[in-house]
Chain A
Amino acid sequence: MIINLILDGRERTIEARCGLSAQNLLKQLGVNSVRNSDDGFGFAGSDTILLDGKIVGANLMIAAQLDGREVKTVNSLRKGRALSTVQEAMIEACCVQSGYNAPAAALMIHDLIERIDSPSRADVQDALSGLFNRATGYEQFFEAVRIAVAKKKNQAYSPAKTGSFGGTSRYVGKSYRKIDATKLVAGERAFVEDRVEEDACILKVLRSPHAHANIKSIDTSAAEALPGVVAVFTHKNVPHKPYGQAGQGFPEPSPYDRVLLDTKIRHHGDRVAAVLAEDEETAIRGCELIKVEYELLPVIMDWDDAKAEGAALVHDGPIIYVNGAPENLKELNREANPKETPVVYQFPIGGNPRKNISSYVEGGIGDVEKGFEEADVILDKTYQTTQIQCTPLELHTTYVKPEGDRLTIHASTQVPYHLRRIVAGQLGVSENKIRVIKERVGGGYGSKQDILLDELAAWAAHTSARPVFHQYTRREEFISSSTRKPMRVRVKLGATREGKFTAMQMDVESNQGAYGAHTLTVPMNGVSKSLPLFLCDNACFTVTSYYSNIPPTGAYQGYGAPKVNYALQVAVKELAEKLNIEHYEFVEKNRVRKGEVLEILRCLGEGREGKPESVDSCGLDEALARGSKLINWNKKEKSTHPDIKIGKGLCIIQQGSGLPGIDQANCTVKMLGDGSFVVQSGGADLGSGLDTVSAKMVAEVLKTDIDSVAVQSGDTDAAPFDTGAYASSGTYFSGGAARNAAQLLSRMILKEAAVILKTSPNKLQLEFPGKVVGEAGEVSYAQLAWQTQGGEGSGQLVATASFTTKKSSFPYGAHFAQVAVNTLTGRVRIQKYYALQDCGTPINPGYAKGQIYGGVLKSIGHAMYEELLLDEDGCCLNTDLRSYGVPMIGDVPDDFKAELVEVNDPYGPFGAKSIAEISVNGAAPTLANAIHDACGIWLRKWPFSPENVLRALGKI
């Protein structure tokens, strides 16, 4: 049908199918900023438009509904290059992180302040009620509205900056506009889907309806005969080369236990076949036409099923070791099914797939048995966590283009260099044949550390010589993406009557799911990021990961810490109560402090031997003191309602800053012809502001205006190797590499300037803005560039440096909460949540806070609302964001504060440590402890849903 509409002030006419979604229609009209996060479910708000002046979701409308109507997108807000008041306010409030639906938020806030002159907090919540935004935690949107309202009244209004850190530094520790914020909030082309060309084919995957089965037969003839189908892929025409999807440094501690398409299905949603077609509809229809006969196998749901006598084996193939094969390997393989995909370990991680064990490790210090004998009080409890979905706003997406004998992959990834290596391995080509361009990433949170779809799309592009676009649906995100592993954690603690630990024991069981991504490192990290928070001479742990048939698990922000720390911190409070010692006091008696040496880390290397680590910076003293004062810790709040009980809780948290001795980052800084700079960073900015961190560090070192520093990151052809954005490595490793490259370049600059000024480099220094000065005179960077890049010059000044370290810089924090528990309904309202965190020197204070808000609200969601539900056959029951239960702005604590505790770390660049990951480690134990304080129940299992609270209260 012909559709006439007014789009952003222009009359437009277009012919379209009436049932096409309005979002797709707008895309056809060249509007990219109206995006899809939920396949027309009407939940996430990335598809927001103003229709006849009202906020609606374009994906929940069909094209025909736009006929004769006026549509405004974010393009209507911008005048030329100038952003609107609202867009500027959002940038100043630091709430443009991944930016995937920042244009939607801008429209919602624009609508709000057009309707209401002075909006209340409730008005803001209502205006943004349809916006799902995992990254920001929503809190800074309240500030954005406040700024927008003030600017609307007075264009010259400038808000107060978010704190000032980093001493006399010009950029480090000071508020500065995130360098990609303008294009994101304006809705410019920035994401993978924006790069897709018209001739691209669409790849769709036929996924298993069963959780555990063998494919007896597969008939693709009808699909192949369908007009528009380019190729059909099954296990018969793809490489049978085991690999792992975990994007970790090579050699990975995760086993290679999958192939592109297999004859065995190991989870609901596992790949069965794939169809490449000229358009999406044909690709979907092609999948429907594939006939598959399955032989169903018993389903392994959890650790108990996995270790039961005679349990079905999730991986029944041979076990192979690249290094360090155990002596009994031959015996282990005696009954293996040679037709099944093998499990390949790069080195031993204690796995035994013959018992459904994907990895196992144990360790300890001191004499734990003796420690328990010496204890006056012993606590022994078990805690359990659930499977959590990462739910990035931007669905997993890739676009692969063959170009000659190379492939260019536009990827939404946390690990462009690992992605390149894994794809090259599957295609059987060398890495130089693959170029990965990491586009802006609309949220990853760990799920984009794994290579979930790029390798299959690359195979399709490689063999068909056609450009291939492959994007998950939201349902596929739930059944086929990587998730947070469910864990069962037994904690045994012993202490003297005086409240000193004598022994600590943790036994962690992890439900790994179908494949072995991060099998060892996630649960082990749970121990290494929680046990060292308390000082005890006798401590031990075991970690066992079991294969099962639940949807795949992998990395999620915080790695294993949010789960194991929940168990430990609740156990600590339980023990404090048994000892009749106040919780805060008990924590203070036993917690880690600066100067301590953490012996336990000797047993907690990431797949290799660890070593004791000293704590050379620790902000816990201040975090605890400030937090307890803020929340008025010793005051018992009274409820005015008989059914509502109020309580307070706390916990302490820790994380790492990258993986010392394992990971590496590199960066190149180039001086351009006018004395400005381009930074080519291998770092993968996921929206957290890593590129801005790199720009700040370079500008700080080179004493130049930050606007003269451009950052190009995540292009594997352009920038040197970086391990990727995971394990809290961004600021510390990638930022450190940028600083090191700038420092190297500064020495080169001084040397060249000395030649020009005919003096010695050590008699010169860099001076802001962008010049070299000394007694012999001065030379600007522009002059220096002209000199070095001319026909008689020494060559363009380019410096490349790496960052590696053997030192761990642990970030710390203390979280406090006040909750009101309705004992009639089981509802828990979070009245106050205060997160106080030591990230060393905060490089971007506003965005550091944004990371904390985002992390805390994610973990509130994990602890309170979210739950991936499976039926008894292992099939996922809730495959949409609403029934899964992600938190929205209406769930934000009534009083929500992120506070930065500045500590100058001796090893991090400019004293920085990591900030984002640690933020998810606190909410579960803090809330569980607060709920106990309110009404006396111990919640030893996620989620703290009304039903589970009522059950604990004995009401049902």
Chain B
Amino acid sequence: MIQNYYRASDAADAIALKKAHSQAVFLAGGTQINRGAPYGKTPEIVIDIHDALSKTIVKEGVEIIIGAMATLQEVVDSELIPSALKEAAAFIPTRSIRNQASIGGNIGAACPDSYIIPTLIALSATLGTAYGRMQVEEYLEQGNKELIYDICLPEQPDSIVAVKESRSHIAPPVVSAAVSLRRNDNKSLRACVTLGCVASRTLRLREVEQGLESGTLKFREDMEKAIGASIKPKSDILGSVGYKTYINSVVVADAIVRCLEELS
């Protein structure tokens, strides 16, 4: 149960409050932290950053800067946001959640089934934090503890596809993934294949990416096999290991094929 609540006036204030209350948790939209509040699972101290951080979405040169407090619905509605990220945000099937949840909060929560994180990785997004700018993967590897100020989207890849799969419209996903491809100046391919739902945090399938970049993975069946071999999902209420492995393999392979088709 939340016992102490602090409202940060700006980013510096938020950092100072965090230093003063090391157990405190940043409260952005609250869709993660407040969930289950009646059961006493919420943190005891929160620092509300609603008024402390930007929520604007602006274009600066080829880059798009998204304020961390921009809601996911604002991401969906913005004309500046790449369609893949809009689509990924819209995968969150409930409008009221999208209205409340912030993009920074979604990244900070680092849920393994986040729809946003795979797409941000596929977009090569970087995060502005108190400790400088870092890749999304880097942020996750460091334990996703730093306050995120903004998200920077560099120039878009040449093709990108975000995918999800769930039992029903609103059910928790068994697939949340994104694939992007970029042509370098020398025409070589740079691939990013990133999946949630199959591990404790979002993964990149480096071997699959290398196979695509080297041209050894050309056929859908080979891609499916390579993806299946790269993941080790666990059986849970959403499905068996066999199902999760299969569905991620075929859906992500399909996304790769669509990316390649778009590229050609």
Q: Are A865 and B167 in contact (CB under 8 A)?
A: yes
A882 to B35, CA, bound (A): 13
A75 to B4, CA, bound (A): 31
- Smallest CB-CB separation from A126: which chain B residue? B95
Interface string of B1-40 (1 = CB under 8 A from A): 1111101000000000000000000010011001111110
Q: Are A18 and B38 in contact (CB under 8 A)?
A: no
* Chain B contact patch, size range: 35 or more
Q: Are B242 and A956 in contact (CB under 8 A)?
A: yes
**Residue A888 CB within 8 A of the other chain:** yes
- Give how many A-B residue pairs fall within 8 Å (CB-CB): 148
Q: Are A824 and B250 in contact (CB under 8 A)?
A: yes
Partner of A18 from the list B2, B168, B169, B239 (CB cut-off 8 Å) is B2
Q: Are A865 and B168 in contact (CB under 8 A)?
A: yes
Q: Are A62 and B5 in contact (CB under 8 A)?
A: yes
A62 to B42, CA, bound (A): 11
A890 to B166, CA, bound (A): 12
A945 to B172, CA, bound (A): 13
**Residue A927 CB within 8 A of the other chain:** no
- Smallest CB-CB separation from B73: which chain A residue? A54
Q: Are B170 and A55 in contact (CB under 8 A)?
A: no
Q: Are A882 and B97 in contact (CB under 8 A)?
A: no
Q: Are B37 and A19 in contact (CB under 8 A)?
A: yes
Q: Are B168 and A40 in contact (CB under 8 A)?
A: no
**Residue B237 CB within 8 A of the other chain:** yes
Q: What B residues does A41 contact at CB under 8 A?
A: 35-36
CB distance from B255 to the nearest CB of A (A): 12
Q: Which of A15-48 contact B (CB under 8 A)?
A: 18-19, 21, 39-43, 45, 48
Interface string of A47-63 (1 = CB under 8 A from B): 01001001111001110
Q: What A residues does B167 contact at CB under 8 A?
A: 865, 885, 945-946
**Residue A64 CB within 8 A of the other chain:** yes
Q: What A residues does B171 contact at CB under 8 A?
A: 865, 882-883, 885
Q: What A residues does B243 contact at CB under 8 A?
A: 946-947, 950-951, 956
By secondary structure, the B interface counts as mixed
Q: Are B38 and A21 in contact (CB under 8 A)?
A: yes
- Considering residues B7, B39, B95, B243, which has the most beta carbons from chain A within 10 angstroms of its beta carbon? B95
Q: What A residues does B169 contact at CB under 8 A?
A: 129, 887-891
Q: What B residues does A887 contact at CB under 8 A?
A: 168-169
**Residue B146 CB within 8 A of the other chain:** no
* Chain A contact patch, size range: 35 or more
Partner of B170 from the list A61, A888, A945 (CB cut-off 8 Å) is A888
Q: Are B246 and A956 in contact (CB under 8 A)?
A: yes
**Residue B48 CB within 8 A of the other chain:** yes
Interface string of B42-66 (1 = CB under 8 A from A): 1000101010000000000000000
Partner of A127 from the list B71, B95, B247 (CB cut-off 8 Å) is B95
A890 to B73, CA, bound (A): 17
CB distance from B247 to the nearest CB of A (A): 6
**Residue B94 CB within 8 A of the other chain:** yes
A43 to B170, CA, bound (A): 9
A950 to B71, CA, bound (A): 37
Interface string of A61-90 (1 = CB under 8 A from B): 110110100000000000000000000000
**Residue B93 CB within 8 A of the other chain:** yes
A865 to B169, CA, bound (A): 10
**Residue A877 CB within 8 A of the other chain:** yes
A67 to B48, CA, bound (A): 11
**Residue B78 CB within 8 A of the other chain:** no
CB distance from A956 to the nearest CB of B (A): 5
A670 to B238, CA, bound (A): 57
Q: What B residues does A865 contact at CB under 8 A?
A: 167-168, 171
23 A-B pairs with C-beta separation under 8 A: A18-B3, A40-B34, A42-B96, A42-B100, A51-B99, A54-B71, A54-B100, A56-B96, A61-B100, A62-B2, A62-B30, A64-B2, A65-B27, A824-B250, A824-B254, A825-B251, A827-B165, A883-B171, A883-B237, A891-B168, A950-B243, A950-B247, A951-B243
Give B residues with C-beta under 8 Å from A. Answer: 1-5, 7, 27, 30-31, 34-39, 42, 46, 48, 50, 71, 73, 93-97, 99-100, 165, 167-172, 237-240, 242-243, 246-247, 250-251, 254
In the complex, given contacts A18-B3, A48-B96, A60-B30, what are 15 additional A-B residue pairs having Cβ atoms less than 8 angstroms apart? A40-B34, A41-B35, A42-B35, A43-B94, A45-B94, A56-B100, A62-B30, A65-B30, A108-B95, A826-B247, A878-B237, A883-B171, A888-B170, A889-B169, A947-B243
